[in-house]
Amino acid sequence: MRIILGVTGGIAAYKAADLARSLVRDGHEVQAVLTRSAEEFVSPTTFAALTGRKVLTNLFEPSAAIEHIDLAQANDLLLVAPATANILAEFAHGLAGGFLSTLYLAFRGPVILAPAMNTNMWEHEATRANMETLRRRGHVIVEPGVGLLACGTFGAGRLAENDGILDAVRKTLNPGVRDLEGETILITAGPTQEPIDPVRFISNRSSGKMGYALAEAALDRGARVILVSGPVALDPPRGAEVVRVRTAVEMRDAVFLHLEPATAIIKCAAVADFRPAAPARQKIKKKGAPATLELEPVGDILAELGRTRGERLLVGFAAETENVLAYALRKLEEKNCDMIVANRVGGEGAGFESDTNEVLLVMRGGVVVEVPRAPKREIADRILGQMIRLRRTAGVTR
């Protein structure tokens, strides 16, 4: 496909060089357009070398006089990364002062914008109103992440990771892409419940939302999905083959019973590590109840899968409150996984019960991808995207 990559002036402009390279690697023809302020941060020569094309920078060069119209007609997608507050304002209001904003007005195809700016500028009412206008116009916005910004403040405004931008490009160019056709993905979701007596149990805060979002995303991308689910209050996505379980032992048995057709396994469930050693057969009465509860360990399903998975891709989760990366790396190794999705739990807007999540994807081979806070469905697509990449790059074949 033919893509116009607009680069505007911000510290994050250097990241656009890598983006250009990835787009070219993915087989696209990339035409870079740098605004005047972008040139303060990066050199057109870099982009010319990476894309193999002359970089356009100024509307008023004689040869560029009608170039914006030709370009607008010849390209399939306009991607602006990073997009400054200024270019977003120009786009929102239809100003045509520079080459990129003029090109924007002449362009009729899909537009993807990846904003990056200081937190206060991002949160300013003017920027918010401009974003609203651009969203309503149907443009795809790759939300900026939260983090330490170049200006020294901490907050929203950091350019989204290139992986997220590339996923948006892929999705925009191939809506309804079915890149998991032929895969059978076994997904576990939700908590387990370990009975103490017939009415009480030990469990955890897992809502099942992440696992169900994964199931939905995998189905949309053409996979067959076997969803082994602990007790949750969610409707399973249409098309999933659902196996309902309650305890960790039931989950283990269900996983191994349905393992055979699976080409990939995602162990999203929050499985108990311990269970009451001797659950009472009758309801324990207040009077005379033991003061302590004896627990026994439950086998680790993921570790067992790590030993027996064969050629299947294996993705585990790690719910951590501290040392997220270090623990994730250890679990990746110890449980012989291809990827660990490390979940920071306990914070706001992430982990159990929340509709959003922020995770680290820790991959075999040492690659770590940080996925900033996003709806769980978006996180699910990022996980699946990385799984496909793992398959391609490391030759994990079926």
Side chain identity, residue 275? R
Q: In this structure, are residues 192 and 203 in contact, taking their beta carbons and an 8 Å threshold?
A: yes
Inter-CA distances, 76 with 16, 25, 123, 162, 387, Å: 19, 17, 31, 19, 27
Residue 1 structure tokens: 């496909």
Instruction: Find the shortest distance in angstroms from Cβ 34 to ligand CTP.
Output: 44
Instruction: Find the shortest distance in angstroms from Cβ 118 to ligand CTP.
Output: 36
Instruction: Find the shortest distance in angstroms from Cβ 320 to ligand CTP.
Output: 7
Q: In this structure, are residues 118 and 153 in contact, taking their beta carbons and an 8 Å threshold?
A: yes
C-beta of 4 vs 339, nearer to ligand CTP: 339
Which positions touch ligand CTP (CB under 6 A)?
Answer: 248, 267, 269, 271, 273, 298, 300-302, 316-319, 331
C-beta of 47 vs 201, nearer to ligand CTP: 201
C-beta of 139 vs 335, nearer to ligand CTP: 335
C-beta of 237 vs 316, nearer to ligand CTP: 316
Reply yes or no on whether 337 is catalytic: no
DSSP conformation class of 270 = B
How far is CA 145 from its chain centroid? 12
C-beta of 10 vs 190, nearer to ligand CTP: 190
Distance CA 212, CA 196 (A): 27
Inter-CA distances, 304 with 11, 49, 228, 256, 311, Å: 46, 49, 16, 10, 14
Instruction: Find the shortest distance in angstroms from Cβ 92 to ligand CTP.
Output: 43
222 burial via Cβ count (<10 Å: 0-12, 13-18, 19+): middle
Q: In this structure, are residues 209 and 379 in contact, taking their beta carbons and an 8 Å threshold?
A: no
How many Å is the Cα radius of gyration of the chain?
A: 24
Instruction: Find the shortest distance in angstroms from Cβ 302 to ligand CTP.
Output: 3
Strand pairing class (295-297; 368-375)? unpaired
C-beta of 20 vs 189, nearer to ligand CTP: 189
C-beta of 181 vs 296, nearer to ligand CTP: 296
Catalytic residue among 148, 151, 177, 368: 151
Q: In this structure, are residues 225 and 215 in contact, taking their beta carbons and an 8 Å threshold?
A: yes
Give the residue from 342, 250, 344, 255 showing the smallest Cα distance to 302: 255
Instruction: Find the shortest distance in angstroms from Cβ 307 to ligand CTP.
Output: 12
Q: 128-135: long-range contacts (C-beta < 8 A, 24 or more apart)?
A: 129/92, 130/85, 130/88, 130/89, 130/91, 130/92, 130/93, 131/88, 131/92, 133/92, 134/88, 134/91, 134/92
Instruction: Find the shortest distance in angstroms from Cβ 172 to ligand CTP.
Output: 32
Cis before 82? omega within 30: yes
Active site residues: 151
